[in-house]
A and B are shown apart, each in its own frame.
Chain A
Amino acid sequence: MNYQWNWGVFLEETPEGGVQYWELIVSGLGWTLAVSALSLLIALGLGAVIGTLRTTDRRWLVRLGNGWVELFRNIPLLVQMFLWYFVIPELVPPLKRWIVASDPVHAQFLSAVLCLGLFTSARVAEQVRAGIQSLPRGQRHAAAALGLTTAQAYRHVLLPMAFRIVIPPLTSEAMNLVKNSSIALTIGLAELTFRAREMGEYTFSFFEAFTAATIIYVVVATTVNRVMAWVERRVAVPGYIAGGGR
């Protein structure tokens, strides 16, 4: 393979002027992190609630939770992105008027955050449900025997253990979320992969741009992994294998 590497390209100015290419890449990283962080909040909040509902003994709540998970799991994320960005505003006229009047970035950002947040919430819900169901049945019975209501049993007995158990699978969901945020480029959001491709198209230094993006994604994934490992150690319950085995 003969390819002329040119790493100096990152210090060249973009056609718009005043900005160098490395700054373009960094601004893309900023959007990637902003979208990922906000949608992670939505996903954890909604996912915890829906996952919990799926373990209750109310049939209709379980149905609702299962339906939620199936809905978001069985449609490709790209198509969901299109639904949020192109379809839903058409069906809600006031939303459409707001989008037409404001900067397109607002609609792109909002669509991406909602899309990724709800998509990931279904996956979080699945993990939370599995976490709660992995607890010994005796815990629920013991809580009832002590006179705790169902809500109290969840609040003080089941959820504190379940949330600790699901930290490792939630770590990989958080890492998936960062990767999935790249799909927002299809609705024009200028996140990291978008900027890398843009830089490639302006300079023909595709491989330099993609290498930079690849390294950044690996670094972000490693950081998320380390942070979650730290959280896992901090919240570990002494004496429990699930809590770190100390």
Chain B
Amino acid sequence: MDLDFAVIGGALPYLWKGFRYTLELTVTAAAGGLVFGTLLALARLSSVRSLALVAAGYVNLMRSIPLVLVIFWFFFLVPLILQGLTGAERPPQVGAERTAIVTFIMFEAAFFCEIMRAGIQSIPRGQLHSANALGLSYGQAMRLVILPQAFRNMLPILLTQVIVLFQDTSLVYVISATDFVGAAAKVAQRDSRLVEMYLFVAAVYFVLCYALSSLVRRLQQRVAVIR
């Protein structure tokens, strides 16, 4: 067994391009997922029965099927939906990288929804009553009183979910998108250096995720002390 870690050096610019896409996907999906997830959480807690049911159905469906299958679903669905929206004759070419962004926003929304729902439910009901007594509308009460507190209480869990998301984005490999793992896999196959490339990828993920989760743990302790 001869290991040659020099291949990594030569491939660094390409790997960095893949890694940048991984970061871009993680940040976009986290931001989009948080926005849609919060809206979904409000829908699930809404007093309009039909709205609550539809939101619950969406969240439960997303949570009970594998992410790989969700990625495949959207990979074929997104072009068809775009075709339906634009009225084009043929489904447009969207590309794996862009479909992945839509997929992860929609998928993460379901998980962020459950976190935000727990966060909103952890706020004492008196807060909502006080907001109403002060004359705030439902929208104002949520935006100015409930959601900021819910978000703050849930911050450590939201960040942990982002670390999970960062790892999960590697699954775009199944639609041949060139993320960090995808780039490494392409180099590994081209140079027949699977051992070196995959060990390198594993080490990078481990160092980053370990550092990030240690940070989240420290943050969690600080939030706990303040409360």
Contacts and interface: CB of A to CB of B under 8 A. Distances in A.
A169 to B, nearest CB: 14
Given A75-B206, A78-B173, A91-B1, A83 B199 contact: yes
- Greatest chain A CB density within 10 A among B64, B66, B206 is at B66
B134 interface: no
Nearest to A82: B198
B64 A75 contact: no
| Majority secondary structure of chain B interface residues (helix, strand, loop or mixed) | helix
A74 B205 contact: yes
A1 B81 CA distance: 6
Interface string A71-95: 1011111111011001100110100
A91 B206 CA distance: 20
A207 interface: yes
Nearest to A218: B64
A180 B66 contact: yes
A83 B181 CA distance: 12
B64 A76 contact: no
Contact of A79 (B73, B84, B202, B210): B202
Nearest to B207: A74
B209 interface: yes
A76 B83 CA distance: 34
A74 B206 contact: yes
A87 B198 contact: yes
Interface string B35-75: 00000000000000000000000000100111111001100
Interface stretch (B98-106, B141-149, B164-172): B164-172
| Majority secondary structure of chain A interface residues (helix, strand, loop or mixed) | helix
A89 to B, nearest CB: 10
A78 B171 contact: yes
B72 A83 contact: no
A2 B201 CA distance: 42
A86 B197 CA distance: 11
A197 interface: yes
Contacts of B72: 193, 196-197, 200, 206, 210
Interface string B167-197: 1101101100000010001000000001100
Interface size class of B (residues with CB under 8 A): 35 or more
Contact of B174 (A77, A82, A186): A186
Given A186-B174, A218-B61, A79 B69 contact: no
A91 B66 contact: no
Interface string A2-44: 1100000000000000000000000000000000000000000
Contact of A183 (B73, B171, B206, B209): B171
Given A1-B83, A79-B170, A193-B69, A90 B181 contact: no
B195 A91 contact: yes
Contacts of A180: 66
Interface of A: 1-3, 70-71, 73-80, 82-83, 86-87, 90-91, 93, 175, 179-183, 185-186, 193, 196-197, 200, 206-207, 210, 213-214, 217-218, 221-222
25 contacts: A1-B80, A1-B84, A2-B84, A74-B205, A74-B206, A75-B205, A76-B167, A76-B171, A79-B198, A79-B205, A80-B202, A86-B194, A87-B194, A90-B194, A90-B195, A179-B64, A179-B66, A181-B66, A183-B66, A183-B68, A186-B174, A196-B72, A206-B76, A213-B69, A217-B66
Given A76-B168, A79-B198, 19 more contacts: A71-B206, A75-B209, A76-B167, A76-B170, A78-B171, A78-B173, A79-B181, A79-B202, A82-B194, A87-B194, A90-B1, A182-B66, A183-B68, A193-B68, A206-B76, A207-B76, A210-B69, A214-B65, A221-B64
